[in-house]
Structure 1
């Protein structure tokens, strides 16, 4: 009887697992899976789809190949030879910013302290020549410009070009007040913010909005509900030049350095200049781990521009960076064909790539993992990064079995990477989903009940089929 029961359970389990998976209604998908003997499953694998943040996989590979594991960003201060005399610099200095995404205000202060002086008798030149062109990518949403995940990618990056503030709105009908921490060089205005109940906000279709102005002043407007505590705000820097100057003034003041000249922008430093102080970032693998696990857009696009700068020996830009990425991958046998690369982060709606093209990138990463070490830098299911809590990989058997990059923008949910199967095989996979949408009532019902979204359920079924080494069966809708 026990043997019969076990057999029945096994048959029932197989039958349940074999039930076809249902893709989200109205959406499109592309899936491709590769094992030891080649492609095991492919559906719509040649459709061109926006990769969203899975674009960072290409950026990481190109950066690792071009820059090397020992690469570090170096931000330095230079002067003419012999200009430093005792506790003063008799002449101009050049601060050479190189787009280091890790550089903080405190790092800048420490850099000035390295000079060991209390006076600069000349101009301070801010060298922004590492990059040129646009600070944001073509195809980025204009509505994201105030948000820190879309901060400007410039040669001057300080505190990730993101600033913090608060808004205090304690009582309905009373004015709101905007505040920033002492010394942070931005301004917040809240005179045009109304404090009202959530119901009134909904009836008036009102929300908190922000306008940006030169000099990094943020004018808040619209509505907000009352709260006894200040509510945190984060703003992407709008005026990078002013941000750089203001932070340099702050650092010199904190370092006790008086300055007799002007602050000016330049695009180069003298050929024979003497380096008086240098700040180094952490190594490339550490930064790539941050970029991939946390899906950091600023890191990704600084790597893109830096790869372009390094490859062509010219100022980095989105144009030179995307061309360099394609050239580097082509040189290593990865043909991106008709893929469109617009940035390094995946924020741009102009990016397009097929699942099969993305798989060729994954195959190279897996084949050369002993040398490159990129797979361990990807998020791991139930362990870290964007896969720590992703609902498609929460089954106990999936813990630390999926090593993959997520990619999410409105209407799109992507996942690309590797699965360690129950049989001990590591398989590369690409799963793109787009056109994901619901009517307002259905969307609200899912949100309120906290039920898994249909695209999450579909992704979960595909991943678990791969893990269990079962055929992927999909009930395509007509």
Structure 2
């Protein structure tokens, strides 16, 4: 009798646990919005079997009503969705026509290359400055490289210390060129020999050792790597690993240490090709009798904003923030720039900035915290503002370009959205132009998972698809 009772209790307990495990999370039962959206999106989330902290907000831009909300007030890591705040604030505070000016100044027999915070300064543009300068002075005692428009804190608060030499972790400086990176072009060499490596720009600013090997099979294959000695704060690169003899040309972008001196060294070498000799080069600025002998003005800010949002360029984001922080009292810096962004969000958008954490402009920092409510509020405000067309034009379309090139390919410009990705973080926020429901603003934030980001991106894409169908 006792045995039968225990067996019944055990069976009942097992059945109860099974029922609970098959029940959607409470958050899915208590979320708000349009019944059709609730049913469809809740089913997508439940059937995905994904284990993550999920927050979603979908708003009709025609009626202002919330069509779907799930944990939309919860603060989560936004990753590159932070760039939505940065881009919007830059358009409103700096203006779409703002330009960045790089200047060459002369004082006595010295030259000063002064950075203006241009995120898109190229080697060719630097060469144009060198050509003009070389016509005016042939012998220079010292070339000073001046990044004083902004502070010299090159890495943001909460950035991972071991991001190393990857292009997306390039140091931030008012004097930046070629994205503060070296471009390595790699081809297979002869079998058993090192890979063929070319690079741009052609400069003595860095050196590398090539320990790679060309092979004809993948047995015990060693991954090809190009790594800078970032821990030692040097510009010494080591190339290692293996490359197949049938491999096509590959390009590797690696950041450098001390971007201002990098720009200055390249400028010095360009001056020398045009006949001007330079004895010394130093970091620093000079006051007194300064004469401008050459300058370069960038394309308008909206051009840089397109690169910021389409390619998710971190350097551009941080230079925008530091530019917004420039004042008569202080050089551009993260604190004052972020205060400007938060002031915009509070005064214009109406976001309570006491319940948001913005640590940088790019979203690289792990200290950032935002919610789908806040991002949807920004997108709603932008849609009604004078910056609407400029802002939306910077967002990549589904399957068209940038970070959306391989996502939502059948939707084209009917979906305009900003991706966000860090380890354990996947976000997608933007606009859907639905024939069925009209223009919509949406924000989807997913945090706290391990493994591949792909299933979370696929869930986001499926949810986007529901916005276009009954």
TM range (shorter): 0.7 to 0.9
CA-to-partner distance for each residue in 1:309-346, whole Å, 9 max, x for gaps? 15x75212222222221123223233333211111111
- How big is the shift at 1:467? 2.8
CA distance in 1, matches of 2:262, 2:41: 58
CA distance in 1, matches of 2:157, 2:305: 23
Q: Is the 8 A contact 2:342 2:353 kept in 1?
A: yes
How many corresponding residue pairs?
423
Which residue matches 2:450? 437
Q: Is the 8 A contact 2:375 2:443 kept in 1?
A: yes
Which residue matches 1:73? 100
2:164 to 145, 157, 161: 145
- How big is the shift at 1:264? 2.2
Which residue matches 1:104? 122
1:200 to 220, 223, 228: 220
Distance 1:175 1:383, change over 3 A: closer
Which residue matches 2:317? 300
CA distance in 2, matches of 1:182, 1:57: 32
Q: Is the 8 A contact 1:308 1:322 kept in 2?
A: yes
CA-to-partner distance for each residue in 1:10-37, whole Å, 9 max, x for gaps? xxx99x9688213452112100111123
Which residue matches 1:334? 351
2:210 to 190, 209, 215: 190
The residue matched to 1:467 in structure 2 has which SS? coil
CA distance in 1, matches of 2:42, 2:97: 49
Which residue matches 1:348? 365
Q: Is the 8 A contact 1:78 1:95 kept in 2?
A: yes
CA-to-partner distance for each residue in 1:173-219, whole Å, 9 max, x for gaps? 5456655458333211024x4666533147xxx76362415552212
CA distance in 1, matches of 2:159, 2:76: 16
- How big is the shift at 1:364? 1.5
CA-to-partner distance for each residue in 1:274-306, whole Å, 9 max, x for gaps? 221110110011111121112111111111111
The residue matched to 1:111 in structure 2 has which SS? helix
- How big is the shift at 1:382? 2.9
Alignment of 1:86-235 (within 5 A): 90-115=108-133, 116-166=135-185, 170=189, 174=193, 179-180=198-199, 183-185=202-204, 186-191=206-211, 193=212, 197-201=217-221, 208=225, 210-212=227-229, 216-221=235-240, 223-227=241-245, 231-235=250-254
Distance 1:434 1:175, change over 3 A: same
1:20 and 2:40 equivalent? no
1:401 and 2:414 equivalent? yes
CA distance in 1, matches of 2:234, 2:127: 21
CA distance in 1, matches of 2:152, 2:347: 26
Alignment of 1:249-328 (within 5 A): 249-259=268-278, 261-266=279-284, 268-270=285-287, 273-310=290-327, 314-328=330-344
- How big is the shift at 1:52? 0.9
Distance 1:214 1:263, change over 3 A: same
The residue matched to 1:337 in structure 2 has which SS? helix
- Normalising by structure 1, we get a TM-score of 0.80
Distance 1:182 1:68, change over 3 A: closer
Distance 1:209 1:24, change over 3 A: farther
CA distance in 2, matches of 1:67, 1:214: 34
- Normalising by structure 2, we get a TM-score of 0.81
1:29 and 2:54 equivalent? yes
Q: Is the 8 A contact 1:33 1:40 kept in 2?
A: yes
Which residue matches 2:424? 411
CA distance in 2, matches of 1:269, 1:176: 45
Distance 1:57 1:324, change over 3 A: same
CA-to-partner distance for each residue in 1:391-439, whole Å, 9 max, x for gaps? xx234xx33211111111222221111111123621111111122334x
Structure 2: unaligned runs, 5 residues or longer: 1-35
CA distance in 2, matches of 1:433, 1:410: 11
Which residue matches 1:5? none
Which residue matches 2:456? 455
CA distance in 2, matches of 1:208, 1:262: 34
